[in-house]
């Protein structure tokens, strides 16, 4: 696990950026505290920061050059099954036991086809100094990030936005990205907050030769039903368990201390079940919330830890602990990102890093197997009966009643209103509404300008994101879209940023491509029905997990934002980031809408005002740090 950065110059002017490589590397220090390396030759400058996981010796340091001196690689990630492929390159003079060296020689022997051998997660660049050609690639699921900037003189790439900004690139904000950020709390991939920066798409590689760029997709999640789908539910459970067990085994390879996150939910508990088969006294970590018992799941985590005899550590947090971590989190975010649970992930990563360098996580299961509340709602709409029709009929009542995330009643009203409104929409539009915090009109209204071009760009992006939902009734289309929008844009971004802020590697067994391919080969009814989501996952491990995990509702994590805005963050909001004079001078947001938001925030019927205010606070904090 590391951070990478680089310059590919198209001419002499492009080489001027070589002198800024050190600046870029400094911004990635937390991603790779164990070492730094550079390679500059011809038209390329490559930089690497190392977090040593496999073969921690100096001989495995990067950039890594082959024995002939022709090929050089920088690699951020893990190639879990590299030992299976060492024989393919046994004729080459291997001098380390690292996965990076095996990967480099696989590339030398097979070219871009080497990617087919890799089971893992990565972003990489390989330079051939004879042909002066650069090869760049990103893993199948987009677990490891890679951002790209290009102009007429050069192409820059880096693991994080801050590393690109260190090269002094133009900072021209993309209004369409801002609009979508307000709507989702994150910016969907492959776009970014800047017009001239894109996130490399998952499952693609790029070849750059003499200024010409060729991009090709080498992997796509299989959406089309298989020719011979598994129709036997019991056999499907056996296959799922086998694939997940193999995935977890692959991810236990490490030359440094390893553990697992254990939240008390099904997903992380399944990972612990499997890891415990192959590791005695597995280290497990969870966080609890002293002041928010509704969201404290540590008692369930402790049940799992006790059953599987793990070495379990609980970090009990107060709201003050979350608040004290606020600025550390905001300072590391280098692009607007307003998923407030990043605060908890940051603290969990910080404490876990004191005990381990690698942690397994249960991320990805909700998207694969239909575990979100919106998935249950979508299925109920498609199979609507008397109850669903009644909810739709009562929409005027839901509109009239107060709605808030800060009370059980207000939150239920909010959910019922959103459900009833969604029933009137097509599958595409309903997905868009339920994936969003705010609809296009609401989120667009808060922006000062309303240009035709921005609307056109917005609709083009929306159509691209929704292109695989075809109103066909195939529920896998919803999960497929979640894998690209929600998983990549929100969940994986959050975990990568917050774990790397603490020099911790997080591995995600559910996103092994063999598991993903199998999940999308299954009929939707194996995964979700009107009684339960993640059906096959729950049933597969029902005999091993405590029954208490199955007899409770799904809880997300909620930060006490409203309380903070009315107390500790009030001055930052009212006197600084959302002060009316600053808003007018900034010229981005509609001052009237911002004033209305502040009034609603302090009213009895706050609704989603706290969420939108957090969205605004994150953006304004980022803007002041990066754009002024």
Confirm if 336 and 489 have CB atoms less than 8 A apart.
no
C-alpha span between 615 and 152 (Å, rounded): 35
C-alpha span between 49 and 45 (Å, rounded): 14
Q: Does residue 89 have a cis bond before it (omega within 30 degrees)? A: no
CA distance readout (Å), 119 to 63, 156, 245, 392, 451: 21, 26, 14, 46, 45
C-alpha span between 510 and 283 (Å, rounded): 19
Tokens of residue 618, six digits:
């994150």
Neighbours of 227 (CB within 10 A): 5
Q: What are phi and psi of 142, to 5 degrees?
A: 75, 35
Tokens of residue 22, six digits:
């050190």
DSSP 187-235: --TT--SBTTEEEPPTTEEEEEETTEEEEEE------SPPSS----HHH
Confirm if 619 and 336 have CB atoms less than 8 A apart.
yes
C-alpha span between 135 and 73 (Å, rounded): 9
Neighbours of 535 (CB within 10 A): 19
**Annotated catalytic residue within 1, 2, 338, 573:** 2
Let me know the angle formed at the C-alpha of 536 by 531 and 542, rounded to the nearest 5 degrees: 90
Nearest one of 5, 3, 6 to 34, comparing CA atoms: 3
Q: Is 2 a catalytic residue?
A: yes
Q: How far is CA 154 from its chain centroid? A: 28
User: In the Cβ-directed half-sphere of 169, how many Cα atoms lie within 13 Å?
Assistant: 30
C-alpha span between 142 and 487 (Å, rounded): 9
The residues annotated with a catalytic role in the active site are 2
């Amino acid at each position: 696990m590391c951070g990478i950065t680089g310059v590919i110059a198209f001419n002499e002017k492009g080489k001027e950026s070589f002198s800024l490589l050190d600046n870029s590397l400094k911004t990635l220090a937390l991603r790779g505290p164990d070492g730094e390396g550079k390679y500059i030759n011809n038209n390329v400058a490559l930089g690497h920061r190392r977090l040593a996981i496999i073969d921690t010796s100096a001989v495995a340091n990067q950039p890594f050059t082959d024995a002939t001196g022709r090929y050089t690689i920088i690699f951020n990630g893990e190639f879990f099954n590299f030992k299976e492929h060492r024989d393919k390159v046994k004729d080459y003079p291997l001098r380390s036991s690292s996965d990076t060296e095996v990967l480099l020689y696989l590339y030398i022997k097979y070219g871009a086809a080497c990617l087919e051998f890799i089971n893992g997660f990565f972003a990489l660049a390989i330079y051939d100094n004879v042909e002066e050609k650069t090869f760049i690639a990103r893993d199948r699921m987009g677990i490891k990030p890679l951002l790209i900037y290009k102009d007429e003189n050069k192409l820059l790439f880096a693991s994080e936005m801050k590393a690109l900004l260190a090269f002094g690139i133009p900072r021209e904000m993309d209004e369409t990205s801002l609009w979508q950020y307000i709507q989702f709390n994150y910016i969907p991939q492959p776009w970014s907050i800047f017009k001239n920066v894109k996130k490399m798409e998952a499952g693609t590689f790029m070849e750059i030769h003499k200024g010409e760029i060729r991009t090709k997709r080498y992997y796509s999640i299989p959406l089309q039903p298989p020719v011979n789908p598994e129709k036997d539910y019991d056999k499907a459970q056996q296959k799922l368990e086998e694939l997940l067990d193999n995935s977890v085994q692959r991810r236990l390879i490490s030359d440094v201390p390893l553990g697992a996150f254990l939240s008390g939910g099904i997903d992380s508990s399944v990972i612990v079940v499997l890891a415990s088969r192959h590791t005695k006294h597995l280290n497990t970590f969870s966080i609890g919330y002293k002041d928010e018992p509704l969201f404290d799941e540590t008692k369930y985590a402790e049940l799992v830890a006790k059953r599987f005899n793990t070495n379990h550590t609980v970090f009990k947090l107060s709201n003050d602990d979350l608040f004290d971590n606020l600025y550390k989190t905001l300072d590391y975010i280098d692009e607007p990102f307003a998923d407030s649970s990043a605060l908890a992930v940051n603290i969990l990563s910080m404490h876990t890093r004191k005990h381990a360098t690698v942690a397994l996580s249960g991320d990805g299961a909700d998207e694969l197997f239909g575990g979100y509340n919106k998935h249950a709602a979508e299925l109920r709409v498609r199979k609507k009966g008397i109850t669903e029709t009644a909810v739709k009929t009562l929409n005027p009542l839901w509109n009239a009643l107060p709605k808030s995330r800060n009370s059980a009643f207000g939150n239920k009203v909010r959910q019922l209103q959103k459900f009833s409104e969604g029933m009137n929409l097509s599958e595409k539009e309903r997905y868009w509404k339920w994936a969003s915090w705010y609809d296009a009109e609401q989120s667009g209204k808060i922006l000062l300008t309303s240009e035709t071009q921005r609307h056109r760009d917005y609709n083009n992006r929306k159509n691209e994101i929704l292109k695989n939902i075809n109103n066909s009734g195939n529920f896998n289309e919803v999960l497929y879209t979640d894998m690209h929008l929600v998983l990549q844009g929100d969940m994986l971004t959050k975990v990568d940023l917050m774990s790397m802020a603490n020099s911790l590697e997080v591995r995600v067994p559910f996103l092994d491509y063999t598991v993903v391919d199998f999940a999308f080969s299954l009929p939707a009814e194996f995964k979700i029905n009107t009684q339960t989501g993640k059906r096959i996952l729950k049933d597969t491990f029902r005999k091993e997990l405590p029954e208490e995990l199955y007899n409770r509702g799904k809880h997300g994590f909620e930060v006490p934002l409203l309380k903070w805005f009315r107390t500790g963050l009030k001055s930052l909001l009212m006197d600084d980031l959302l002060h009316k004079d600053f808003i007018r001078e900034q010229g981005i947001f509609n001052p009237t809408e911002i004033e209305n938001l502040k009034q609603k925030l302090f009213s009895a019927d706050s609704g989603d005002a706290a969420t939108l205010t957090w969205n605004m606070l994150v953006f304004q904090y980022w803007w002041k740090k990066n754009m002024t």
